Amino acid sequence: MKKLTLIFVSLSFIAGLSISLTANDKTAGKCMVCHMEISAGLYHQWNNSEHALHNVTCYDCHGADKKEIDSFLHEGTYIATLVTPKDCGRCHTKEADETGMSYHAKAGQILESADAYLAHVAGGHPAAISGCESCHGSKVEIDPKSPNRLTAESWPNSGIGRINPDGSKGSCNACHTRHGFDKSQARQPETCGKCHLGPDHPQKEIYEESKHGNVYFTNVDKMNLDADRWVVGEDYYAAPTCATCHISATRTQQPSHDVGGRISWTLRPPISKHKDNWQHKREKMKDVCQSCHGLTFIDGHYRQFDGLVNLYNEKFARPAGEITGILKKNNSFENPAAFSNKIEWIYWEIWHHEGRRARHGAAMMGPDYTWWHGIYDVAQHFYFKFIPEVRKTGDKEAITYIDNMLRNDPMHRWMSQSTDELKKAIRSGEIQKIYEKLFTPEVGSE
């Protein structure tokens, strides 16, 4: 079916069978005939896509009005190279609106962040372009002297929150790789893995480690990824992917491009906070789990997850943040600029790398990230890098804070006790009791 239609469409363009073709169709025909020669791979990606099947042509996406800021004359026709969410939204309104509302659409607004400061001072502009902006999105600028009018510094770019000249945010091909624009491809974890990996947000690695990832990779052929409708529990059941939990349909939920809709915590900041309306969002995620698990099992998972987030918040993040605040207030750093002192890097890595890894590991069932790449690193660096470095500054207020904490906080008192005493307390369950209050979601909320 698909092949036949395509052959007809292509042949009719090539042979110039103009009986029922509009001016647009003729223009589009020229694009295809020429580009079939000069960029055959690109042409075939398109020709095998749902778009070609439905007669959505080069010109439908790239055609532009002369007045558009990024349009230029190309082989006698005004076109634009960029095809933004606004352009796709002409035909896919729901997906474009949801993407625009999502946290993804905000990802290009990072210039004021500590990360961006660090990239620009400790790194340098080229690193910000090929690094940060490749994931987050550039602000695409127009260069009247360039052949395609986009500056080489700002494009190519397919960052998730790219700021487009038409005011729209993002690039749909961050997930729907061009020119196939395939939804089955976007359902697979590799798609998200371009950005969701590495030392500060290893979601891809955690997924690969988890039972969910194990089962997925050993059963890819049973995932029914090409299905038009992809309802978990009905159209497939072997394993969930990133898209299953964060985007795709359940028996009671439509798919949504607003990726934050099922998340109750934000695990990104130094101290985790609940998202607004978090109970409702959590219920939506639990509804996904319920396609494959029982409610007691799911509630158990969330209890363990909340316990870990609160442990990180209360035992390490809060004191480390308060101590850093004291040093800042008292001007106790050696050098003036932010990130020009070793201790600032140590604190940064505790929350931004190790602390996030621990939280993400617990959220998505990756035990190695929760402990060995997570809380283990947090604890070692808190006790044996951060605290010694604070003591070196000689700041009396900060040192008193630390001494008090190590003496009086039951979670930190262990350092001055005997090993035998501590082992006895572990066996009797006394030590575990210290952490009992952490197993409710409310502890860390603010």
Q: Return the residue of 6, 10, 44, 103 that touches ligand HEC, per CB under 6 A.
A: 103
Residue 335: which residues within 8 A CB-CB, separation 6 or more?
A: 341
Q: Return the residue of 138, 154, 171, 310 that touches ligand HEC, per CB under 6 A.
A: 171
Query: If you count DSSP H runs as helices and E runs as strands, how many of each does the chain have, helices first?
Result: 26, 4
> Which residue is it, tokens 């001494």?
403
Nearer to ligand HEC, 193 or 321 (CB): 193
| Residue 348 interacting with ligand HEC (CB under 6 A) | no
Q: Is the dihedral of CA 293, 298, 300, 306 positive or negative?
A: positive
**CB-closest chain residue to ligand HEC:** 260
| Residue 362 interacting with ligand HEC (CB under 6 A) | no
Nearer to ligand HEC, 72 or 395 (CB): 72
Give the residue among 334, 329, 341, 364 at the shortest CA–CA distance from 202. 364
| Residue 341 interacting with ligand HEC (CB under 6 A) | no
| Residue 370 interacting with ligand HEC (CB under 6 A) | no
1-40: which residues touch ligand HEC (CB under 6 A)?
A: 27, 30-32, 34-35, 38
What mask of x and - would describe binding to ligand HEC in positions 270 to 289, judged by CB under 6 A?
A: ------------x--x--xx
Binding residue count for ligand HEC, defined by CB under 6 A: 123
What does the alpha-carbon distance between residue 338 and residue 328 come to, in Å, rounded to a whole number?
Answer: 10
Give the number of other Cβ atoms within 10 Å of residue 3's Cβ.
Answer: 9
Give the residue among 264, 99, 120 at the shortest CA–CA distance from 174. 99
| Residue 163 interacting with ligand HEC (CB under 6 A) | no
Of the ranges 229-237, 319-327, 390-398, 406-414, which one interacts with ligand HEC (CB under 6 A)? Answer: 229-237
| Residue 369 interacting with ligand HEC (CB under 6 A) | no
Reply yes or no: is the peptide bond before residue 51 cis, omega within 30 of 0. Answer: no
Radius of gyration of the chain (CA): 27
Give the residue among 135, 301, 282, 300 at the shortest CA–CA distance from 210. 301
CB of 311 vs ligand HEC, minimal distance in Å = 15
Exposure string for 379-413, b = 16+ CB within 10 A, e = fewer: bebbeebbbebbeebebeebbebbeebeeeeeebe
Q: Are 326 and 318 in contact (CB under 8 A)?
A: no
Nearer to ligand HEC, 17 or 34 (CB): 34
| Residue 263 interacting with ligand HEC (CB under 6 A) | yes
| Residue 317 interacting with ligand HEC (CB under 6 A) | no
| Residue 332 interacting with ligand HEC (CB under 6 A) | no
Q: Return the residue of 10, 68, 234, 237 that touches ligand HEC, per CB under 6 A.
A: 237
Q: Return the residue of 182, 344, 349, 377 that touches ligand HEC, per CB under 6 A.
A: 182
190-209: which residues touch ligand HEC (CB under 6 A)?
A: 191-196, 198, 201, 203-204, 207
Nearer to ligand HEC, 86 or 413 (CB): 86
What does the alpha-carbon distance between residue 292 and residue 294 come to, in Å, rounded to a whole number?
Answer: 7
Nearer to ligand HEC, 60 or 405 (CB): 60
Q: Alpha carbon 416 to chain centroid distance? A: 41
Q: Return the residue of 9, 64, 202, 230 that touches ligand HEC, per CB under 6 A.
A: 230
